[in-house]
Structures are given as C-alpha cells and as structure tokens.
C-alpha cells in the first residue's frame, strides 16, 4: 500500500490517518473523474463524501472535519487510492509537461535587464510620384558580434512571442527565451508587433522582400521615429544611405516676401532646397544628412510649400478683394512660422495700430457652462476672431490695410484654448466642472493679464467661495443625526459635499452652478471620510435626510464623538448622545440595574453584564474579550436571565468540546432556564429545531461550529433574541463556511466572546465585528487597506473600543495568587543533534526548491510541514524516525524536574501541540510510576467535563492535554504548575492553556514553565510569537508599535 504523504499525515493527525487507511482497505473509495486538472473521488463513510484533488496540489472534502483541520480521513483514503492506481502520478506527469516552458520563462527574472544582443534599424524612404506622400520601410539587423538581416519581421515577432529559436546563418541562432534587446529596441519591437497583428487581422498577406522590408503606415512610422530620436540608425534615400545621428528638434528656416501690384498681392516663400519630408504630416523631415523633428506650428505650412515648390521656392497670388484678409490674418500667421518681409510699396498701404484685446464672460443659457466672446480692437476697428462672416470683396476707397498683432492675438486665443474653451458655429464655450473650476480659480487671472476681461453678474456668482460649516449631532431613536449649517444658513447638498471631501476633491459645484472651494478644509477630512464610508455601507438613500442632514446608524455615535473631540470641529453633541457614549466607554459610569435573583457577580463581572445590557438596549452588538478565566460565560448567563421573555430563544454557538460545558454552567447558574443542546443525526437535529420554532418552550439553544454550517438553513428561520458566539476566534477567517454561516443568523442582538479577538492580523478582528455589527468596519478589502500595516492603529482602536470590553486578571483579580513564568532551555542529546542538523540541511534545500518552483503561497503547506518536522525533532526524533533509539534532551530535562515538583505536592498540566508526543510522554510517565490523565481531540465533550471535575477533586498528578483540544473551555484550578512542552506560534494559545489553571478559584501560586530546545527552530518560533503578541497588545490595549502576521520572509528565516 502507498505510504500517506508526510504533509498530509501531519495535517490530518495520526487518528484520522489511521481511519483513512481503514476506509481504503474496506473498499470505500471510488474514483469517479480523471482529467488533466483534477481527480474526483467518492468516499463512503456513513454518508457519501466528495473528495477532489487538483493539479496545483490542493485537496477538498465535503466533510466538516476537513473544514476545521484542512485534512481528514476521507482525503487520506482517496489519496492512497489515487496513488495506488496511478491516477495521481498521471495527473502530476501531465502538469510537469505543461510546466516545462513556464520554468524556462521564469529565467527572465534572473537575467539582467540590459540588452544581450544588438539590433540595428534601417529605414528606406521610397521614391513616389506624389512627392508629398512619402512612404517608409523598415529593415532590422540583429546579432552579437556580427549583425544578420532579419528576413521576416513577422516571423521574428512570432518567435519572440512563442519563445521559439530562429537561425540567422551559420554563425548566429536567436534564442528569444534568454536573449534580450535594449529598452529602445524592445519598444520598437512592441510597435512592430502591433503592426503585424493589425495586418494579420486585416488579412494582409506579405511575401518575400515585403516581410524583410516592412512598409510602415504613417502612425507606426511616426512612433518608430520618435523612439529613434536618441538612437543612431541608417536611412536610405534613393541610392544614398545616411548614417543618422540622434534626431534633433528644430525650426526650419522659412522666408516670406509679400508684395502688391495692380492685380493684388503676391506671397513668395523660400525654404531649404534639401528639405524632404519623411512623413505626409511633415512631423519628421530630412534636411541634408540630418533628420529633424519639425516644430508643430510649421508642419501645415511646410506641407503646402513642399507640394507647391519649385527648386525650394513657390509663389501664391491673391486678388485685391482678399488683400484685407491676407494682411490681417495670413501675414500675422506666417510671422509665427518664419521671417516675413513686406515690400516698400505695400508697406505704404498699411496701417499698424496698438491692439486692445477684450474678452466678455457669461454663463450659458443652461446655467452650467461658460460662454466667451472675444474682440480685438485696433483704433475704431473691431475684429471678432471667431466670426465666420465672409469679409467684403473690396476695400472702401481710401481705407488702408490693417497689419494685426498676430503674436498678441495668439496669446489671448492660446489662453482660452489652454483653459478648455471650444468653438462651435462662431460661439465659444467652456464645459465640464473640472475645467470651469480651474478656469474661474486660476485661468481667469492669467487671461486678465493678457486682455481686458468683463464679467457678467451671473458669471461672478460662479466664483468659488470658501464655506464655513457648523453642525449638531443628536440621537433620534435608533438613528444618529448630524445637521449642518453653512455660513449660518442650512447647508445645501451636505452628503454630496462630504463625499467630495472624502474623495479629496478641490471643489464642489452646487446645483445652482456655484462652486465651493474645498482646498482649505483639511480639518474636516477625517469626518468626511467616516460619513462617506458609512454612506457606502448603509446606502446613500437611507443616509441623506434633506439637503442639510445626514442620518447614520446609532452605533457610530461613540466613534464620531471621539473623532469630533480630537478634531475640534464646531459640531455640538446633544446630552443623550453624550450619555450613551459615557455608558459604553466609561467603566465608572455603571447603570442602575438589578442582578437576576440568586446570581452573585464580582464587581467587574457586574460591570460587564451592565455593558452587555446597555448595548442590547441600544440595539448594538459587542465583543466581550476579557482575559481567560475571568468568567465571560457567567456574564452572558446574567444577561440571558435578566432579559428572559416567554417565547423567545437565544442561540449559543461554541466549539464542540464546550457545548456541554455551557449546558453545565447554565444548569449551575440559571437552573430556571430551559436549555437544549443540538445533536444527533441531521434528521434528529431538524426535529429539535422544529420543536424550538413551534413549541416556544426553550430559552437557550446550544450548537457547535461544525453543526451550524450544516443546519444554518433551518436556523435562519428562527428570530433569536441573542446570537452568542463563544470562542469567536473560530470565525476569524471571514471567508470560512463557519463565518459565512453565523452571519446569516437572525437575532435582535449579537455578541462574541473571546479571550483572543486578534491572533495573527487585523482581518480576524474584522470578521468578528462583521458578525456583531455588520457593516461597521467598512468592507473587508477597504479595512485591510487602511489598517493592515498598523499605521492607523489609533483610529481603529477608537472605532472598536466602545464595542469591545477587555479586562486583564492583574487589573481586576487582585486576590489572585502570583503567576511565575520561566523558560527552561534544553540541550539536544548528541544523537538528536545529528538528526536535527542533517534534517535541517535537507529541508533547507527542499524548501528553497519548493519556493522557487511554486512560489511561497502555493508551496506554503509543504514549507509549514517542513517546519513541523523540525519542531517534532526538537520534541523527540522518534516522531519523525520510526527506528530512532536515542534520547531527547527536552524529555530528559522534563523527567529530571518532575520528581521534585511532585514531591512538593505540585499538580501539573502538561501541554503539547503534538498528540503523538503526548503519547510518548504518557508512556514514559506511566513507566516512572506517575498518576496521569490524558485528553486530546478524540475525548468526548461530556468526558472532558468529567475528567476536569475529577482532576480538581484531587485525582491524578499529571494531566497531559493536547494544546488545541484542551486549550479552551476547561477549569483546572486543581493544578498549580503548567508545563508547555513545545512552544506554539501564537503566545495567546499558550496563555489560554495556562489559564485553565490560573483563573477564578485558584488559591495557590501558579508556576508556568516553557521548555525550549537550544540552537533550534524553537527559539525562533518563540521570538516570532512575541511579535504576534505585540500586535494584540497594540490594538486591544495601548502599546508602542503594531506588527502584522508572519510574513513569508519571516517563515523562510526559520531555515537560516
């Protein structure tokens, strides 16, 4: 039979692995689907379970055990079946074949970015009959020491895309999978790739020389010439080849002479004879042996001149009727492109007057746009530059030709153009809020420097004004209302203004077309952010109440008041809101509520009960996060008793191991409450749920996290009084089925109980709060973006503190005895050290290979399995090596310290994360004559309670407990020594385990000992665990800094 992979054995555990092997041998597994991507199996185990293996190494099973542990007996059985029949090997081989090219492509990252081969560009300017429509062809040469002509550019592009080698002569083979071009050459190839793709889609078929000398349409030719501006290339013109140095941008020398005779005016133009455009647009031209990037202003003129020229000179005649336009418009324009000379005879017919430019601005008829009218005045002559009315054909007798100031006119028109004004049928408009705001706040001033600007009253009302806001915040029933004023008057469109501030807009345009300048309102930004986030979560329609009022959920009152106090904004808070905030945030302000008869609570427990009751009356949920052992359960029981009403039922969701503990505690403190524990088959549980729904005689219904996933559809039909999650860290993964299930529950009020609301990252906190106060902490992605790195921890603490109550033992249980914590470092035995060093060397290489091949995320399971193997060796090498006969330094140390402790009457809780290690410890301790008790994940819930009672009554000397199975829900105050045999990543899990003994009822000093193996991975586990603790302390209690969960770099450092 195939061996179960080590990683799967670790995840499933020894018990599940053995069950899986039995299922396989019993013939319970059938393969139902084989493909290149997945294998599907059916496993019969009471019910039929679906197991799927995918080609990326992942597995899935439909059973609840898999959801909790990530592995199960059904996956083990299916894995053996698929491996024995070769199905797994076939899928792996197919994946390996497909992955080959990907591994080759991965070498890209290891090569330098510099080009490893050369590429030369040669352009050919084709002779054409129509000299104004030139055409360019491109040819490429590539190679290392010697350059080879690329015979087919499309073939080369395809070879690069498919990573296919191409041979260019005996001396050179182009290997695109590892050869690289320079940056400019890569960009040129990108342009050619787009051209080849366009030709292919158009069905163009290139043959022979057409593939070598590729014709470039004008847009592609211009792009390539721009890329070549700083790169030498060769240009062939006719029989001559020019070695082009870097292209220069310059103005082409142009000369114009304007003269007159009896027939009209003549314009003679002269430009360089050697000028030759490379493109129809004249954006690039050949002048002598230089390629020039032509100024944009000259291009249109040069196109006409080149087309009409004869030997670098051309003439243009205009009749007398066009003289005014030639001198008033054409000549000023030509002055912008070159040198203009006016004949003496013509100059005597001209008049030159100073320009007075005027611009008139108004609001358009629609009230949203700006309309402009420009005038250029020369003496008593007024010219509208946008008037499309034709000029008169003849000048009035005796009237001289006006020579206009083209440069000054151009500045005014350019200013309007830069602001975004457009011309349509002689009218000039500016549209768009952004463009109008920029113009009225900045562009207008620039225009006033160039012209006389006249503003209508309607336009003046568009001038941005800086608003002054104030407001009042009050509780109105279950809603929180913020009412705003602006400059002493009721505010307009306040929700939209807050959104504009939250989006960091510089302005807001009101419905009447006027602008508010928001640029100097930084102090309002945090409030605007909060209101906008709330509007997104609650819906803008429900948030907006008229123009001046915003209505939010009442649970935002505490955070907003705290925010307002820190910002110092002029917003008054009414007494009712302040009283509500005091009730939730000030532990000294207790509520005058009578405790349920027969129930006695400590003062801090009574305060917790009152806090829960206050939240309930405000229709808000919360998280009771008291330190382990402070009695969170009894505080909730007090709430259930105080709010009990006939016909109403509350739901408690707890880990499977704690369901009967809840039953026991309710029976002890609230015997009058009717309690039911969901259990049995699916049909039996359905019957129980129907009874609860129809009979109305159950006060508290208890279920477990695995069962609620299965029963959620039926449970959602009941409106619960309270929905209470115990050990709520079970839903820390927001995407888990358990978290999704509990969020569907219908309840008047929701509470979560946990001693560790935060273990690895703030995302866990979000998941718990999304249950108790849905929508309060933004969306999951937005929440992580803001708070994950810890830079905004103070804001997050301000948000959660009213709804999260946490007290520490040292703060409220001054009567508790001391807790002495110490770390004992064990030296490996010689045989153990050899095994550890050899394994570390092998696994380091293995892990490096996994990370390079799969990346850390996809290889995470195998990396963590390697870490687990090293940790097991630290405990005892026989956990990894069946034939190991040596000793363990840590076990020897434990056996040395126990005799003295037991002799002094100490009673010990011994925790380990590995049940296989606990079995070794149990055997060693039993052989040594100690009285032991043993508890792991296979211990039934009812038996757990019985064993705890027996131990507290004095039975047994050493209680061996699995960290995961026994770290929560047990009261073991009969112990006064806690030994953690192996360190765990999360100190909070160890603290929870320690608090089985160090809790209410403990009267003796408790000694906590952590055993750590010297010079091993365990020392690094302890160090990284302390960093996690810093995260918790920073957010839940004040601290200095905030850190995230373990990063891939931190985990990989364990192998250094």
How confident is the model at residue 967, as a pLDDT?
66
For the chain, the average pLDDT equals: 85
Q: Report whether 652 contacts 726 (CB < 8 A).
A: yes
Domains 590-812 and 819-1053 agree in fold: yes
Q: pLDDT tens digits, residue range 690-733?
A: 999 999 999 999 999 999 999 999 999 999 999 999 989 888 88
* Mean pLDDT computed over 827-853: 88
How far lies 857's CA from each of 110, 1021, 1056, in Å?
20, 20, 19
How confident is the model at residue 590, as a pLDDT?
47
Residue 1006: which pLDDT band, with cuts at 50, 70 and 90? confident
Q: pLDDT tens digits, residue range 217-235?
A: 999 999 999 999 888 899 9
Contacts with 950 (C-beta within 8 Å, 6 or more apart), sequence order: 933, 956
Residue 385: which pLDDT band, with cuts at 50, 70 and 90? confident
Indicate the domain borders of the chain: 6-108, 111-246, 249-348, 355-453, 469-583, 590-812, 819-1053
CA distance 445 to 443: 5
CA distance 260 to 816: 113
pLDDT at 106 over 60: no
User: Count of CB atoms within 10 A of residue 720's CB?
Assistant: 22
- The architecture in CATH of the region 590-812 reads 3-Layer(aba) Sandwich (3.40)
* Mean pLDDT computed over 662-690: 91
User: Count of CB atoms within 10 A of residue 514's CB?
Assistant: 14
Residue 395: which pLDDT band, with cuts at 50, 70 and 90? low
- Reduced to 3 states, what is the DSSP secondary structure of residue 826? strand
How confident is the model at residue 267, as a pLDDT?
93
How confident is the model at residue 323, as a pLDDT?
82
Residues of the chain above pLDDT 70, percent: 91
Contacts with 367 (C-beta within 8 Å, 6 or more apart), sequence order: 512, 513
How confident is the model at residue 547, as a pLDDT?
85
The torsion region of residue 547 among left (phi > 0), alpha (psi -120 to 50) and beta comes to alpha
Packed helices 1017-1036 and 793-800: angle between N→C axes, nearest 10 degrees: 60
The CATH number of the structural domain formed by 819-1053 is 3.40.50.300
In sequence order, what are the beta bridge partners of 703?
653
Least confident of 306-315, 441-450, 643-652: 306-315
Q: In terms of Cα–Cα distance, which of 379, 384, 361 is closest to 371?
A: 361
- Reduced to 3 states, what is the DSSP secondary structure of residue 308? helix
Contacts with 666 (C-beta within 8 Å, 6 or more apart), sequence order: 637, 673, 675, 700
How confident is the model at residue 963, as a pLDDT?
86
How far lies 601's CA from each of 494, 973, 1000, in Å?
48, 19, 12
CA distance 91 to 289: 64
How confident is the model at residue 1052, as a pLDDT?
65
pLDDT at 1039 over 50: no
Instruction: Record the pTM.
Output: 0.51
How far lies 400's CA from each of 264, 923, 965, in Å?
14, 121, 106
pLDDT at 429 over 50: yes
Q: pLDDT tens digits, residue range 161-174?
A: 888 888 887 778 89
Q: pLDDT tens digits, residue range 658-673?
A: 787 788 789 888 999 9
User: Count of CB atoms within 10 A of residue 1040's CB?
Assistant: 7
* Mean pLDDT computed over 125-142: 78
End-to-end CA distance of the chain: 36
């Amino acid at each position: 039979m195939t061996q179960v992979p080590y990683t799967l054995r670790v995840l499933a555990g020894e018990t599940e692995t053995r069950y899986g092997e039995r299922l396989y041998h019993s013939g319970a597994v059938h393969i139902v689907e084989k493909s290149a991507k997945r294998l599907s199996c059916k496993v019969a185990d009471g019910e039929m379970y679906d197991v799927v293996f995918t080609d990326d190494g992942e597995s899935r099973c439909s059973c609840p055990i898999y959801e909790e542990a990530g592995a199960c007996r059904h996956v083990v059985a299916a894995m053996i079946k698929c491996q024995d029949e070769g199905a797994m090997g076939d899928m792996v081989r197919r994946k390996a074949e497909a992955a080959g090219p990907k591994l080759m492509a991965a070498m890209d990252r290891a090569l330098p970015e510099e080009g490893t081969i050369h590429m030369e560009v040669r352009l050919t300017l084709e002779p054409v009959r129509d000299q104004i429509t030139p055409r360019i062809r491109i040819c490429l040469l590539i190679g290392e020491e010697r350059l080879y002509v690329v015979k087919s550019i499309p073939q080369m592009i395809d070879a690069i895309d498919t990573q296919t080698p191409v041979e260019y002569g005996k001396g050179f083979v182009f290997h695109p999978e590892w050869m690289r071009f320079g940056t400019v050459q890569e960009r040129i190839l990108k342009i050619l790739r787009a051209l080849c793709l366009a030709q292919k889609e158009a069905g163009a078929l290139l043959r022979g020389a057409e593939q070598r000398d590729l014709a470039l349409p004008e847009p592609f030719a211009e792009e390539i010439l721009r890329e070549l501006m700083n790169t030498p290339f060769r240009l062939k013109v006719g029989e001559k080849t020019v070695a082009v140095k870097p292209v220069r941008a310059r103005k082409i020398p142009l000369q114009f002479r304007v003269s007159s005779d009896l027939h009209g005016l003549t314009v003679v133009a002269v430009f360089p004879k050697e000028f030759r455009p490379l493109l129809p647009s004249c954006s690039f031209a050949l002048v002598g042996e230089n390629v020039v990037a032509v100024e944009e202003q000259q291009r249109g003129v040069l196109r006409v001149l080149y087309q009409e020229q004869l030997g670098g000179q051309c003439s243009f005649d205009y009749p007398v009727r066009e003289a005014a336009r030639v001198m008033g418009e054409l000549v000023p324009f030509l002055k912008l492109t070159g040198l203009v000379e006016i004949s003496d005879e013509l100059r005597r017919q001209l008049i030159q007057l100073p320009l007075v430019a005027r611009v008139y601005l108004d609001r358009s008829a629609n009230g949203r746009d700006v309309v402009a009218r420009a005038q250029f005045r020369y003496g008593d002559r007024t010219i509208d530059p946008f008037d499309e009315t034709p000029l008169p054909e003849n000048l009035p007798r005796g009237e001289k030709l006006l020579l206009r100031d083209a440069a000054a006119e151009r500045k005014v028109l350019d200013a309007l153009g830069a602001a975004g004004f457009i011309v349509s049928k002689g009218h000039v408009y500016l549209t768009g809020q952004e463009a109008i705001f920029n113009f009225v706040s900045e562009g207008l001033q620039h225009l006033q420097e160039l012209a006389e600007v006249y503003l209508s009253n309607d336009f003046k009302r568009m001038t941005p004004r800086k608003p002054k806001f104030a407001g009042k915040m009050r509780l109105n029933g279950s809603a929180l209302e913020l009412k705003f004023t602006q400059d002493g008057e009721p505010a307009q469109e306040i929700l939209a203004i807050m959104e504009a501030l939250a989006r960091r807009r510089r302005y807001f345009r009101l419905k009447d077309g006027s602008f508010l300048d928001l640029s100097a309102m930084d102090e309002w930004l945090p409030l605007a952010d909060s209101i906008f986030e709330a509007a997104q979560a609650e819906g803008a329609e429900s948030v907006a109440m008229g123009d001046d009022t915003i209505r939010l959920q009442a649970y935002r009152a505490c955070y907003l008041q705290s925010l307002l106090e820190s910002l110092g904004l002029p917003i008054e808070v009414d007494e009712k809101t302040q009283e509500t905030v005091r009730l939730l945030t000030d532990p000294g302000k207790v509520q005058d509520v009578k405790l349920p008869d027969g129930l006695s609570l400590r003062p801090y427990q009574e305060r917790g009960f009152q806090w829960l009751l206050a939240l309930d009356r405000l229709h808000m949920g919360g998280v009771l996060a008291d330190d382990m052992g402070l009695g969170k359960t009894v505080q909730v029981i007090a709430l259930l008793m105080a709010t009990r009403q006939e016909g109403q039922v509350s739901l408690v969701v707890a880990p499977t191991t704690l369901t009967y503990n809840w039953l026991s505690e309710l029976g002890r403190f609230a015997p009058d409450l009717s309690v039911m524990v969901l259990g049995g088959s699916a049909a039996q549980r359905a019957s129980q749920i129907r009874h609860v729904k129809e009979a109305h005689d159950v006060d508290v219904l208890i279920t477990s996290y695995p069962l609620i996933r299965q029963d959620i559809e039926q449970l959602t039909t009941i409106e619960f009084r309270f929905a209470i999650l115990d050990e709520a860290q079970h839903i820390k993964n927001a995407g888990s089925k358990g978290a999704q299930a509990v969020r569907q529950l219908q309840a008047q009020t929701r509470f979560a109980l946990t001693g560790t609301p935060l273990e690895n990252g703030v995302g866990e906190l979000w998941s718990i709060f999304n249950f108790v106060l849905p929508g309060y902490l933004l969306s999951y992605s937005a929440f992580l973006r803001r708070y994950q790195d810890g830079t905004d921890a103070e804001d997050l603490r301000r948000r959660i503190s009213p709804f999260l109550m946490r007290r520490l033992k040292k703060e409220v249980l001054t009567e508790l005895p001391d807790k002495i914590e110490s770390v004992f470092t064990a030296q490996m035995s010689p045989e153990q050290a050899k095994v550890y060093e050899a394994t570390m060397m092998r696994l380091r290489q293995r892990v490096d290979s996994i990370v390079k091949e799969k990346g850390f995320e996809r290889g995470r399971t195998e990396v963590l399995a390697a870490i687990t193997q090293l940790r097991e060796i630290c405990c005892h090498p026989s956990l990894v090596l069946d034939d190991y006969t040596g000793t363990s330094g840590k076990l020897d140390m434990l056996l040395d310290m126990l005799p003295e402790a037991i002799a002094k009457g100490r009673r010990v809780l011994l925790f380990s994360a590995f049940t296989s290690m606990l079995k070794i410890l149990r055997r060693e301790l039993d052989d040594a004559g100690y009285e032991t008790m043993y508890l792991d994940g296979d211990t039934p819930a009812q038996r757990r309670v019985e064993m705890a009672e027996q131990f507290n009554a004095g039975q047994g000397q050493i209680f061996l407990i699995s960290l995961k199975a026994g770290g929560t829900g047990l009261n073991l105050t009969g112990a006064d020594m806690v030994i953690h045999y192996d360190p765990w990543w999360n100190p909070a899990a160890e603290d929870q385990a320690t608090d089985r003994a160090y809790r209410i009822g403990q009267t003796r000093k408790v000694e906590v000992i952590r055993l750590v193996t010297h010079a091993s991975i365990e020392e690094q586990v302890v160090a990284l665990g302390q960093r996690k603790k810093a995260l918790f302390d920073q957010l839940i209690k004040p601290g200095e800094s905030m850190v995230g969960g373990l990063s891939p770099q931190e985990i990989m450092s364990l192998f250094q």
